[in-house]
Amino acid sequence: MLNNANNSFTRNFWVDYLRSALTVLVVAHHSALAYTTFAKFDKKTYIFSTHPIVDSQRWVGIDLFQNFNDVFFMSLMFLIGGLFLSKSIDKKGVVNYVRDRIFRLLIPFFFLGTIFMLIAYFPSYYVANNKETGIVVFVYDFFHHQKWPSGPPWFIWVLFLFNLIGIPFQFYFKKLNDKIAVVFDSFGKKPLFFFVVFYLFTWVVFVPLTMLVGPGIWVGYGPFDFQLSRILLYFGYFTIGVLIGNSDFNKGIFSIQSGIVKNWKVWAFGALVTYAVLIRSEEILTKAIADGMLTVLNAHIIYWSVYVASCVLSNLAFLTIFRNFMDMESIGWNLLNENAYLIYLLHYIFVIWIQFCLLSVSASAWSKFLLTFFFAFILSFLVSSFLRKIRLVNKYL
C-alpha cells in the first residue's frame, strides 16, 4: 500500500480500481462466450454469430457467469464514464476537453480499433470460409460483407458521443449544482428511497425500448455500431454519472458514512438473489405462457422488471464494495489501472486467437475458458506495458 484513505480521495482510487476491475470482467466475459450453451456460429456472415469463435465444448455454468456480467457491467462502465465530465471541463475548458476526447477516444477507436479488429476477426473468417487464408479477400470481406465490425471498441465511440452530448447539459447542470448536490447527498441518508428511484429510472430508460425493438438488435453505420435496446439505458447511466460528479460524492452519496455505502452487504446479497430469480423466471414464465396463465406481454414485463432489479442491485453492489474496500492506494491496482484502457482495446485479439487455437484441444469448456482468460489477460497486459513506453501512446492511452 502506498497511501492512506484520506489522501486517496482526491484521485478517487476506488473509482479507478472499479473501472479496472470491470475491464478484467470484460476480458473474462469475452473469454467465456465461445463456451456457452447458446453459442452459435454463422458461416455465411460470421459477424452474426454469438461470438467470432464457437467451440463444441459447452457448459451451463459459463452461461450463468456470462449472463450475470451482461446484465449490469456496461451500464456501470457508462456511469463511471460520466463521473468526471464536470471536473474535466472545469479543468481543461471545452475546447481542450473536446480535443482530449478526440485523441483519447475517437482516434483510438477509429484507427487502432479497426486495425485490432482486423487481426482479431481473421480466425473467424478462416473458420467460416473453410480455411481460406487470402488476406486481400479477407480485408474486402471484413469491410464489405461483414460491414466493418467494431467489436468491443463500440463502447469507446459511444462514450465519445455521450461526452459531446454531455457538454451543453453540463452548463445547465452547473446552474443547478447546489440543488443537485443537495438531492444526491440526501440519497445517502435514504438508501431504500434511492434504490426505488434508481430502479424506476432504469426501468423507464430500458424496458419500453427493449420490448419495442427486442433485446438483441444492433444498428449502426460502418464501425459505429450500438445495441439499440440499451442505448437509452447507457445514456441514462452516463447522465447519472454526470449528475453525481457535480457533487462531492466521496463526502455525500458515496461517503463511507452514507447509508448507501454502509448497506453494501444488502446490495450484494440482493444482487445474487435477484439474479437467481431472473434465471429461474425464464422457465417459470415460459410455462405460464404455455399454460395460458400469462400473456406474452405480461410475461415480458415481469421478466424485464426482474432484470432491471438485477442490474440496479449489481451496480450498487460493485460501487459500494469498491468504495468500502478500495480506499487505499495499491501498486498492483495502479498497474492494472494504468494499462486498463489498452487492455480493453487489445484483449479481443488474444481472446479470439487463443479460442481458435483451442478448438482442436480435448479439454472441458471450463478449462478452455480459464486458459483463454488467463493468457488473454496476461498477453494484453504485457503488450500494453510495452506500447505505453511510446510517449504518444502513454500520453493518451
Q: Taking the CB of residue 270, how many other CB atoms lie within 10 A of it?
A: 19
Does the pLDDT of residue 196 top 90, yes or no? yes
Please state, in angstroms and rounded to a whole number, the distance separating the CA atoms of residues 329 and 16: 10
What mean pLDDT, rounded, does the chain reach?
Answer: 93
Does the pLDDT of residue 290 top 70, yes or no? yes
Mean pLDDT for 210-219 is: 93
Mean pLDDT for 184-205 is: 94
Query: 4 or 389, which is more confident?
Result: 389
Q: Taking the CB of residue 286, how many other CB atoms lie within 10 A of it?
A: 13
Please state, in angstroms and rounded to a whole number, the distance separating the CA atoms of residues 14 and 328: 8
Q: Which three cell numbers stand for residue 92?
A: 481543461
Query: 169 or 347, which is more confident?
Result: 347
Residue 157 makes CB contacts below 8 A (sequence gap 6+) with: 105, 106, 109, 110, 150, 223, 224
Please state, in angstroms and rounded to a whole number, the distance separating the CA atoms of residues 160 and 75: 15
Model confidence over 308-343: pLDDT tens digits? 999 999 999 999 999 999 978 899 999 999 999 999
Q: What is the model's pLDDT at position 5?
A: 37
Does the pLDDT of residue 6 top 60, yes or no? no
Q: Give the H or E element holding residue 227.
A: strand 224-227
Does the pLDDT of residue 9 top 60, yes or no? no
Does the pLDDT of residue 363 top 70, yes or no? yes
CB 66 within 8 A of CB 36: yes
Q: What is the model's pLDDT at position 10?
A: 57
Does the pLDDT of residue 1 top 50, yes or no? no
Given pLDDT bands bounded at 50, 70 and 90, which one contains residue 298? very high
Model confidence over 11-55: pLDDT tens digits? 789 999 999 999 999 999 999 999 999 999 999 999 999 999 999
Does the pLDDT of residue 4 top 80, yes or no? no
Does the pLDDT of residue 2 top 70, yes or no? no
Given pLDDT bands bounded at 50, 70 and 90, which one contains residue 176? confident
